[in-house]
Amino acid sequence: MDDSRIDNITELKKFLESSQKVSIRLATIDEKYTFIQGAVKKYRYKKLAKHEKKVVLFYLKKITGFKKTQLHKLIARALMSKLARKVYVRNNPHLVYKAYDIKLLEKTDALHLKLNCLATKEILRRECEVFGNKEFENIAKVSPSHITNLRHTEVYKNSWVNQTKPSLVNIAVTAPPVTNGIPGSIRVDTVSQNNIYHINSVDEICQWELVASVPRIQEIFMEDVLYDMLLQFPFVVFNFHSDRGSEYINYVICKLLNKLLINQTKSRSRHCNDNALVESKNGTVVRKNFGYFYVNQDLCETLNKFHKEYFNLYLNYHRPCLFVTDTITYPNGRTRDVYNEATTPYEKLKEICNRPENKDKKILRDDITFEKLDKIAYAMGDNAFAKLMRKEQERIHNINKDLGIAP
């Protein structure tokens, strides 16, 4: 490129204004360095004012394509001496551990099933010094940390040496819970309380919540409790979502859900919001009402009766929940949900079923009608039922105190 006719900063500024839509690039790095060296010398960059240096900087950026930060570094080098490409010099060009040494390491790992680096280093040292095996003389000098580097080289074929292979479990689908805009997609999680476990299940749309208790999270206990819990929902359950815990991801629960024609999904890795609803209910409902104290395992059957006759009715007919009414979008793209509606899950269920778009959809189970549910919901006031529930809860708590901690 010939810019010999551009003699001063004023002409350079006019050139930049007139060539805004023109793209000019030098081909090689050597040409770009030569051009930068010539421009710095031609326009006496060091003696220019700040606004004049800015013009030269834009000019060099347009011709070379370098970023502003890189140009500042190159101009500083051009002012100190001749600008030229640096030659890369390897500090240690020779290899200390050749392919033969790495193969000895691979052989050692295969025999000992790939121990940690420090133990492997000790074996290599003993082979050389204690047992006099001279072929290990070079590899025995390796540092424990460098053994990891050698294990990742192309020479070291580590794909078959004691590698953990994930087992493919064809139970449930790894996907976010699907709601279809109607009640029936429940999220399930387990809450540990010292000696027993609470199974917490929440519907995503109307927040219908059911709690049950088991002495241990094993298939023999989980199957009956989950079956009874699913029958307590007044609507058709079509999706069952949980985390990847073995109490839900097993063939017994899979067979149960298939029998009931319920789709099973499990949370995705690094997607904590997949099961966020039930996780929040674990703290605001289960922990708040049952605390952290010890519960004797013999009371599980009594607790399940309490859940079915008192606690679950209280949660769904007498305890209001907050629902999203609006979503605010900020200029930076972030959103925030606004919770301005407080109502019970039963009232929300009635509202959803009475919407025009849901008139033809089958939401409630065949044996359930709102006339039956109204008798349960309006039989007692919220405070009266809560008082009755707390009285029963206190009675069970006293029984638990009398039983004490099992030896």
Secondary structure (DSSP) of 177-233 = PP-TTSS-EEEEEEEEETTEEEEEEEETTT--EEEEEESS-SHHHHHHHHHHHHHH-
**Is 43 in the same domain as 190?**
no
Cα 142 to Cα 132: distance, rounded to the nearest angstrom: 17
Q: Flag whether pLDDT at 2 surpasses 70.
A: no
pLDDT band at 161 (very low <50, low <70, confident <90, very high): low
Residue 194 maps to a domain: yes
Kindly state the average pLDDT of the residues 221-228: 92
Same domain, 326 and 379: yes
Classify residue 165: in a domain, yes or no. no
Determine, yes or no, domain membership for 166: no
Mean pLDDT, residues 368-393:
93
Is 372 a member of any domain?
yes
**Residue-range definition of the domain harbouring residue 73:** 9-80
**Number of domains the chain is built from:** 3
State whether 123 and 190 are in the same domain: no
- Per-residue pLDDT of 48-97, as tens digits, reads 888 888 888 888 888 888 888 888 888 888 888 888 877 766 666 677 88
Residue 90 maps to a domain = no
Helices and strands (H, E) in the chain, number of each type: 16, 8
Tokens for 149, please give them: 């580097």
Half-sphere exposure of 154 (CA within 13 A, CB side): 0
H-helix or E-strand spanning residue 400: helix 382-403
Band of residue 402 on the pLDDT scale cut at 50, 70, 90: confident
Which among 239, 367, 262, 389 is positioned nearest to 314, based on CA atoms? 389
Give the tens place of pLDDT for each residue, 339-380: 989 999 999 999 999 999 988 888 999 999 999 999 999 999
Asked which of 52, 80, 108 is the last residue of a domain, the reply is 80
CA dihedral defined by 132, 133, 138, 142, rounded to 10 degrees? -80
pTM: 0.61
pLDDT at 219: 87
- Helical (H) or strand (E) element with 240: strand 239-242
Residue 120 has pLDDT above 80, yes or no: yes
Nearest to 393 by CA among 303, 296, 293, 286: 303
Residues 119 and 144 in one domain: yes
Across 7-11, 150-154, 207-211, 271-275, least confident range: 7-11
Judged against a pLDDT cut of 60, whether residue 164 lies above it is answered with no
pLDDT bracket for residue 393 (50, 70, 90): very high
* Paired tokens of 348: 């929300």
Quick one: DSSP state of residue 242? E
* Confidence band for 114, pLDDT divided at 50, 70 and 90: confident
Average pLDDT, the chain: 88
User: Is the domain of 50 the same as that of 192?
Assistant: no
In a domain, 68, yes or no: yes
Structure tokens at 241: 């979502």
Whether residues 181 and 156 share a domain: the answer is no
Same domain, yes or no: 231 and 379: yes
Residue 168, domain member (yes or no): no
pLDDT in tens, 11-26: 888 888 887 777 777 7
List the 196-203 sheet strands across, edge first. Answer: 173-174, 263-266, 239-242, 185-193, 196-203, 209-214
What pLDDT shows up at residue 91?
Answer: 63
Same domain, 136 and 37: no
Q: For residues 6 and 43, give the distance between their C-alpha atoms in angstroms, rounded to a whole number.
A: 10
Specify the DSSP element, H or E, that contains 75.
Answer: helix 68-80
Residues 309 and 213 in one domain: yes
| pLDDT above 60: residue 254 | yes
Judgement on whether residues 153 and 196 belong to the same structural domain of the protein: no
Question: Ramachandran region of residue 333, left (φ > 0), alpha (ψ -120 to 50) or beta?
Answer: left
What is the per-residue pLDDT across 277-309, written as a single tens digit (0 to 9) for each? 999 999 999 999 998 888 988 899 999 999 999
pLDDT at 368: 92
- CA–CA separation, 122 vs 314, rounded Å? 65
pLDDT bin (cut points 50, 70, 90) of residue 407 is very low
Tell whether 243 and 377 lie within a shared domain: yes
The single-letter code of the amino acid at 343 is T
**What pLDDT is attached to residue 406?**
42
Q: What is the CATH number of the domain that holds 234?
A: 3.30.420.10
pLDDT for residue 34: 86
pLDDT more than 70, % of the chain: 93
> What is the Cα–Cα distance from 84 to 367, expressed in whole angstroms?
86
pLDDT of residue 92: 62
Q: Which pair of tokens denotes residue 136?
A: 């290990």
**Domain end point (choices 45, 80, 115):** 80
**Is there a domain that residue 1 lies in?**
no
Q: Based on the number of CB atoms within 10 Å of its own CB, is 335 exposed (0-12), middle (13-18) or buried (19 or more)?
A: exposed
Do 225 and 307 lie in one domain? The reply is yes
Let me know: does 240 contact 319? Beta carbons within 8 Å.
no
